[in-house]
Amino acid sequence: MNKIKAAFAGGKAFIPFITCGDPDLETTAACVRAMAAAGADIIELGIPFSDPTAEGPVIQEASLRALNGGVTTDKVFDLVRDLRRDVTVPFVFMTYANVVFSCGAERFFKACADVGVDGLILPDLPFEEKEEFLPLCRQYDVALISLIAPTSAGRIAAIAREAEGFLYLVSSLGVTGVRSEITTDLASIVKVVRENTDIPCAIGFGISTPEQAKRMADLSDGAIVGSAIVRLLERYGTQAPPHVGDYVKTMKDALREGESV
C-alpha cells in the first residue's frame, strides 16, 4: 500500500488499464513496459472474466479475446512475475469476485504478494460485503480498493473513511467506455471524500482525451483510462505497444500541465 501512496506523491497520477492477454500475453507485457516508460504512475491489469458486468463492449470483447486465446489467472500471475524483473510501478488487479473464488481466495492473495501486486479492484464486490476478502488483503498487504459511484450518495463518507490504497471514483452511471462528455457533479463527491479521508482518489470511466484527463485530475488526485487504451489494442493488435506508450505519454503530459516543477 505504501507504493500506491507514493505513486500519488509526485503530483497528479495517471493510471492506465489493460486487459491481460489481449491479443496475447507477450503484447500485454510489451504494452505494460511501454506504459511504465511513458510515465504511468499505477497500472491496472485486468484479469479476463467471462461476465465482466462493469465493462462496456470494448473491454468485454477484449476479455473474450483473451479468454479465447487461453489466458488464465495463473498465466496472468506468471506475466506479472516476469514484469517485476524490470517494472517497478505499482500494479493493481481489476477483476471480479468469481475469479478470486475460482482460484481460491487465500491462494489468490498469496500469489499477489509473491509476484508483487499492490492492490485489487472488484467492481462486483459491494462495500458492505468487503469483509469477505479484507482479512486476506491485510494479511498479504494487498490494498482492497473501493469504488464510489454517483449513486453511492449517503454511503460516500463511510466508504471514504474505510478506504485503502486509493479510491476509485466512477465518473458516470453505466459501464466503462469512452464518453464525449462527463456531466456528473464530481466536485461535490470529492468534497465529501476529502472531509473523510486523506487517501487519494482518482476518477475513471469515460475518460479518453488529454483534456478530459486534465479536468478530472484537477478535481481529484488522478485519472484512470481503460477503454481508449483497449481500443488501441483492438486496432493495432501485436503492433500496439508503441502506440499505447505514445498515448500514455500524451495523457501524463496533460496531467503535468500547471504543476509546479
* Sign of CA pseudo-dihedral 147, 144, 219, 246: negative
Distances (CA, A) of 186 to 60, 121, 197, 202, 232: 26, 20, 16, 11, 28
Q: What pLDDT score was predicted for residue 117?
A: 98
The pLDDT averaged over each successive group of 10 residues in the chain (261 residues) is: 88 97 98 98 96 78 95 98 98 96 97 98 92 96 93 89 95 52 75 95 92 93 95 97 98 81 39
**CATH code given to domain 13-254:** 3.20.20.70
Looking up cell 469512452 gives 178
* CA neighbor of 175 nearest in space, from 259, 55, 35, 62: 55
* CA neighbor of 178 nearest in space, from 51, 55, 34, 35: 55
Q: What is the pTM of this model?
A: 0.93
Domain ranges across the chain: 13-254
According to DSSP, the residues that pair with 25 across neighbouring strands are: none
Whether 47 contacts 20, CB under 8 Å? yes
d(CA 4, CA 205): 20
Residue type, 24: D
Environment class of residue 257 by beta-carbon count within 10 Å: exposed (0-12), middle (13-18) or buried (19+)?
exposed
Cα torsion for 129, 133, 139, 140, to the nearest 10°?
-130
Q: What pLDDT score was predicted for residue 258?
A: 55
